[in-house]
Amino acid sequence: MTSIAANLQAVRARIAAACVAAGRPAESVRLLAVSKTWPVTSVREAVAAGQRAFGENYVQEAIDKAAELAGLGLEWHFIGPLQSNKTRLVAENFAWVHSVDRLKIAERLAAQRPAGLAPLQVCIQVNVSGEASKSGCAPEQAATLVHAVATLPRLCLRGLMAIPEPGEDSRLQRGRFALLRQLHDQFNAEGIKLDTLSMGMSHDLEAAIMEGATLVRIGTAIFGERNYTT
Ligand SMILES: *Cc1c(COP(=O)(O)O)cnc(C)c1O
């Protein structure tokens, strides 16, 4: 029998094993449970099993869930593509945004983050897969964007995020993650204090942790295969 609680335990064990293999402390990797398309009942099961941080891609779906689950002390992360007309809702309803890929979006989030809330925690999404992916800024543009976002009020720039193209070639995957890590190290050397590498999903969390991931975003391995038709 599989349950969300059992799946969560298995994912935590994978993270712990990958940390051992990488020679890193187990607490150095945070688990973000990606609950997009799953109902509030599924989120509640994960909460009962000790999970607190959840990732969502669709703004309205996430806001509806967060409202139903208000009072449980959950932390909501926006991880999907972000259009200008949705920035206000994101600025008002999330603790984190992982998918900032252009300055205009960051400026809108900064202007729209309510004064009564803690600064919005932000990652810059970088396209580490070239032509194979269209979301994220190009690696060559990341420095300019990172330096500009670091100066914006109401935002706290935490790090970088990437979604490498899916594939079986684990050496290629490692190379993509390594590129994100090199950028992270470069920006830290330039004086931009970053502490977050948001990389690794259900199929590649081990490769991501080997390359320094500090936060993995896991959906399928916790909740099961998503059905987008319903
Ligand atoms: C859906 C999604 C995930 C989770 O992917 P799984 O393969 O289901 O673990 C992680 N990150 C982002 C940005 C996503 O959109």
CB of 79 shorter than 6 A to ligand 1 = yes
Q: Over the stretch 85-106, which tens digit does the pLDDT of each residue have?
A: 999 999 999 999 999 999 999 9
- Closest ligand 1 atom number to CA of residue 218: 9
What is the SS3 assignment for 186?
Answer: helix
CB of 216 shorter than 6 A to ligand 1 = no
How far is Cα 203 from Cα 190, in angstroms, rounded to an integer?
Answer: 33
Instruction: Supply the CATH classification number for the domain 4-223.
Output: 3.20.20.10
- Closest ligand 1 atom number to CA of residue 226: 8
How far is Cα 197 from Cα 94, in angstroms, rounded to an integer?
Answer: 19
* Threshold 0.85, pTM exceeds: yes
Domain boundaries defined on the chain: 4-223
Residues 100, 106 contacting (CB under 8 angstroms): yes
Residues 155, 109 contacting (CB under 8 angstroms): yes
Q: From the CA of 18, how far away is ligand 1's center (Å)?
A: 19
Which residue shows structure tokens 């970053």?
194
Q: Whose CA is nearest to atom 15 of ligand 1?
A: 80
Q: What's residue 134's pLDDT?
A: 77
pLDDT band at residue 59, thresholds of 50, 70 and 90?
very high
* Angstrom distances, CA of residue 103 to CA of 149, 170, 186: 7, 32, 20
Q: What's residue 230's pLDDT?
A: 54
